[in-house]
């Protein structure tokens, strides 16, 4: 059908002639209410954005000389972040002579993970990067 005929049909029905695929020969068109189509598309996009959960990266700082109760307190806050659906970055900053004993920091990280492992998965194992030891935990899938 020619474009003029299709435009005439659309005008009689008080609708719009919309090109779906303009690059093919012949171009594919559709008769619809374009304003309503745009409104529905915007509404669908808004609902999709509203239902989408953006995962944040929360950070928990530890020290190499942390005591057991303090470690449990930090683990409790990390569990709270993980149950909310956020990732948790666990960091230890080594100072002075602590850099020579990075294995102690990795042990602290592993004890920390043992407190959180029922709700989390170790996304990145404890690694030494300069003066820092980093580990990333993600929530387990239900």
List, in sequence order, the alpha helices (H) in the chain: 3-12, 34-51, 68-83, 102-116
- State the DSSP code for 26: S
pLDDT tens series, the chain, 142 aa: 888 888 899 899 999 988 888 888 888 889 999 999 899 999 999 988 887 777 789 999 999 999 999 999 999 999 999 998 899 999 999 998 888 988 999 999 999 999 998 999 999 999 998 899 999 999 988 6
Residue 71 CA to its chain's centroid (Å)? 27
CA distances from 13 to 16, 33, 95, 104, 122 (A): 9, 10, 77, 77, 60
Pair 112, 71: CB distance under 8 Å: yes
Q: Which phi-psi region, left, alpha or beta, contains residue 130 (left: φ > 0; alpha: ψ -120 to 50)?
A: left
pLDDT tens-digit readout, 94-112: 998 888 988 999 999 999 9
Q: Which domains does the chain have, with CATH numbers?
A: 3-51 (3.10.20.80), 57-139 (3.30.110.10)
What is the token pair recorded at 138? 């993600």
What is the token pair recorded at 38? 């745009």
- Whole-number Å distance between alpha carbons of 96 and 33: 70
């Amino acid at each position: 059908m020619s474009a003029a005929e299709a435009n005439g049909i659309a005008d009689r029905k008080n609708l719009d002639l919309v090109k779906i695929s303009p690059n093919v020969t012949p171009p594919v068109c559709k008769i619809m209410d374009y304003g309503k189509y745009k409104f529905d598309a915007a509404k669908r996009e808004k609902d999709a954005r509203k239902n989408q959960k953006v995962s944040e990266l929360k950070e928990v700082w530890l020290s190499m000389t942390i005591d057991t109760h303090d470690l449990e307190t930090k683990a409790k806050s990390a569990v709270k972040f993980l149950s909310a659906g956020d990732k948790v970055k666990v960091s230890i900053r080594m100072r002075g002579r602590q850099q020579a004993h990075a294995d102690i920091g990795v042990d602290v990280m592993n004890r920390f993970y043992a407190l959180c492992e029922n709700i989390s998965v170790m996304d990145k194992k404890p690694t030494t990067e300069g003066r820092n030891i980093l580990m990333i935990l993600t929530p387990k899938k239900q």
